[in-house]
Structure 1
Amino acid sequence: MKSMAMNVSSALFFSSFLVPTRREPRRRAFNPTASSSSISRKEDVVIVGGGIAGLATALSLHRLGVPSLVLEQGDSLRAGGTSLTLFKNGWRVLDAIGVGDELRNRFIEIEGLVMRSVDGRELRSFSFKEEAPGQEVRAVERRLLLETLSSKLPLNSISYSSRVKAIKKQGSGETLLELDDGTQMLAKIVIGCDGIRSPVAKWMGFSEPKYVGHCAFRGIALYPEGQPFKARLNYIYGRGLRAGFVPISQEKVYWFICFNNPSPGPRTDDPSILKKQALELMRNWPSDLLDVLHNTPDDVVIKTPLVDRWLWPGFSPAASTDNVVVVGDAWHPMTPNLGQGACCALEDSVVLAGKLSAALKDGGESVEVALRAYGEERWARIFMVTARANLVGSLLQWDNPIVCEFRNNIMIPWFVRLAPFLEHTNFECDLLEPVAST
């Protein structure tokens, strides 16, 4: 019982950090000349979605000698999001696909974490070096991560302004993708990396992600003269309300606020209004958090409802069907309470690429068998992380005053342990040595 209490209590402190970057010069998008009623292009591997999962999958395949075409619905790399936290499993994949060191040089390594109550009282602090040797944590700007991944792909690997309108199976076994502009494309293999509201996942029969009862504000504070904070995660717990912030670089700090809400509420895209709402929630919270919020430009604050999808065995569709497969949020959207959404998407990409390239190039397993093996290998891990993230969010969002007092005065100070809680960041994969694409 004590071990169980320690593991559950360890879940009380972690919350994720999600994330933008600089604008990349737009690559030339594929512009078909054939009529909209004819097949404009044929591809072996088409990846739908140019986010983290899509670009990491494309790069993993490229390093293994398998070319692919990425269809991105936007006219450039995605600018949405703020920052995300990558743990050692994410960095292991980035090393495997050859971009780890380039990204490390741009972001501060986080040395530990501190947990506080609303009145500023420190409840517990940890050093990663002492409590979890080998752990690596950095907050990474999403946009810069996307730029780095895309820069390693061959020219014209990404087709911008390419939104998938319809998906149809052909008698030949290939998949017909119809784009908004009328382009019709035949693909032997389709990899859906198109996010939480994935059209590919919907076509495969997956249910809509479920709202979990919490929403989050996120933003990035700017300190042109240098931010004043230590290299650690800062978590602050209230009643049905929590917040946190972490340095990204010497000039930037990422922050989040998570609050209970019975419904996602009306959508508001005006970031200045969102910033005012966030400040209103934090009126009497610690001054360092308020300083971070005040140093946030009005145009970079976002608000998102938190959702997930549990992959119940025997009830949820398989990860692949008829040479169509899903990766990352398209398959397993999860709440950000463990900071594992991007990390698990990166894991997916390298596992799928390894199995798919072997099937395509080594004459071993068929593609269908390889895709099925990917889903079977990844399911158990994904189910566990999704469920754990949901549980952590539920515990962290307690609003009962008695329970919150127990959390702050007994659970966190006496029972929280760091190392057992971070077991889910253990992941190994081989380096993908680059080979020539065919």
Structure 2
Amino acid sequence: MKALIVGGGIGGLSAAIALRLRGWDVTVFEQASALTEVGAGLQISPNGWRVLDALGVSPYLADTMFEPEAIEMRLGVSGTRVFRLPMKGYARQRWGAPYLHVHRADLVNALAARLSELAPEAVQTGRAVSGYAPDGAVLFEDETRVAGDLVVGADGLHSVIRQQMLGPDAPRYTGNVAWRAVVPLTELPAPPPPTACVWAGDKRHAVTTRLRAGRLANFVGMVEEPNPSPEGWRIEGSRDDAMAAFAGWDPIIAGLISKAPVLNRWALFDRAPLPRWHEGRVTLLGDAAHPMLPSMAQGAVQALEDAWTLAAVLDGAADVAGALQRYFDLRIDRVSRIQAGSAANARMFHKASGLGRIGFYGPMALGARIAPGLIHARQDWVYRHDVTRTG
């Protein structure tokens, strides 16, 4: 059986590995001339790490991962800590796998290396896909065609596969723009804490993490804006605009912005849950199916879960289309709930008034001090989920 995968990002490469491990012949078509990623960090929660481990990718990441000491929240302006929940060691104890930070480029390189080990010629770059045939063929902009038994659209928010399948609807602007930067710790007068730290503020928030065994600081800032900026990970923004967006904030945040070699800025979009993800032998995966805000740090992880589940339901399936319906049925409720939770988290981090912050963050701080296990329990349904056992 031959799988044709459109998109050489995290979801597409993971799907290729998962299918190859089950005996499929796989080809990944990437429109860019090389598999490249912007400088950006990812949080890999236990539910995602289990998939990477099962795919055989974890050894390729051993020297670059960073395990945060805790998850914490601070107020953006004052830097006052609202709560701190232990994670290093605790995550493995509670959820059966660690909570880790990784550079997005390192994860793509690790996935590509693992796939190359299994199928050395699987990735074809510079291949711009224009559409598909429901029987499992991919059509290219140069009017060539490749036939297969399965097409996986892992081609992101503006997926050409999704557009052909469900029509040319526009994604929804969420009312937020995002800033991203990666800075060497040696450049920073005040480095961020060795945690996954949310900095909450008025109609904006930031997240700081560490990458590459702790040598880099990662910054993500989300700001409410009525008018969207262009959508795209490689669009560079103005340092003055970033400084203005977080003016008066803690010196740690100001230092990250001032020392960042590049500040990327783009609008954040999502989509309402789709009514279906497949047509015939063609299906969607990751952001092509369910884009979400980064406020639960689950976008890449949910693509990993998709990839494993898709391969599991196709393993030995005589009816590919029927297996794709089962894949959708297994995934749609979970990813829709996480999409909604990500949007809710963004609203929670953006409390505008002092009274609103006290009323909301005060009980969280008290709960974290007297019953941290109860706060951790709110994430059990996300982090304990194990698609490598349940499909």
Could you tell me the TM-score, scaled by structure 2's length?
Answer: 0.88
Give the % identical residues: 26
Gaps in structure 1 of 5+ consecutive residues: 1-42, 360-364, 432-438
Q: Deviations over 1:24-47 (max 9, x none)?
A: xxxxxxxxxxxxxxxxxxx83100
Could you tell me the TM-score, scaled by structure 1's length?
Answer: 0.79
Question: Aligned partners of 2:105, 2:329: CA distance in 1, in Å?
Answer: 31
Q: For residues 263-278 of structure 1, what are the structure 2 equivalents within 5 Å?
A: 263-265=227-229, 271=236, 273-278=237-242
Match of 1:160 among 122, 125, 135: 125
Instruction: Report the CA distance shift for 1:270/1:325 in structure 2 as closer, same or farther (over 3 A).
Output: closer
Q: For residues 39-438 of structure 1, what are the structure 2 equivalents within 5 Å?
A: 44-80=2-38, 82-117=40-75, 118-128=77-87, 133-135=93-95, 136-153=98-115, 154-169=119-134, 174-205=135-166, 207-224=169-186, 228-248=191-211, 249-265=213-229, 271=236, 273-298=237-262, 301-311=263-273, 316-359=274-317, 365-408=318-361, 410-415=362-367, 418-423=375-380, 424-430=382-388
Question: Aligned partners of 2:138, 2:222: CA distance in 1, in Å?
Answer: 38
Aligned residues: 373
- Alpha-carbon deviation of 1:54? 0.2
Q: Secondary structure at the match of 1:246?
A: strand
Q: Secondary structure at the match of 1:84?
A: strand
Q: Which moved more, 1:187-196 or 1:281-290?
A: 281-290
Q: Secondary structure at the match of 1:152?
A: helix
Q: Deviations over 1:264-297 (max 9, x none)?
A: 13569663x4333212222311112222223321
Gaps in structure 2 of 5+ consecutive residues: 369-373
Instruction: Report the CA distance shift for 1:210/1:266 in structure 2 as closer, same or farther (over 3 A).
Output: closer
- Alpha-carbon deviation of 1:332? 0.7
Question: Aligned partners of 2:214, 2:136: CA distance in 1, in Å?
Answer: 47
Do 1:45 and 1:187's aligned partners in 2 also have CA atoms closer than 8 Å? yes
CA RMSD of aligned residues (A): 2.4
Structure 1's consecutive aligned runs of 4 or more residues displaced over 6 angstroms after TM superposition are: none
Q: Secondary structure at the match of 1:140?
A: strand
Q: Secondary structure at the match of 1:358?
A: coil
Alignment-derived partner of residue 371 in structure 2 = none
Question: Aligned partners of 2:230, 2:157: CA distance in 1, in Å?
Answer: 19
Structure ranking higher on relative contact order (CA contacts 8 Å, 6+ apart): 1
- Alpha-carbon deviation of 1:263? 2.3
Do 1:225 and 1:251's aligned partners in 2 also have CA atoms closer than 8 Å? no
- Alpha-carbon deviation of 1:419? 1.0
Question: Aligned partners of 1:94, 1:199: CA distance in 2, in Å?
Answer: 27
Question: Aligned partners of 2:162, 2:239: CA distance in 1, in Å?
Answer: 33
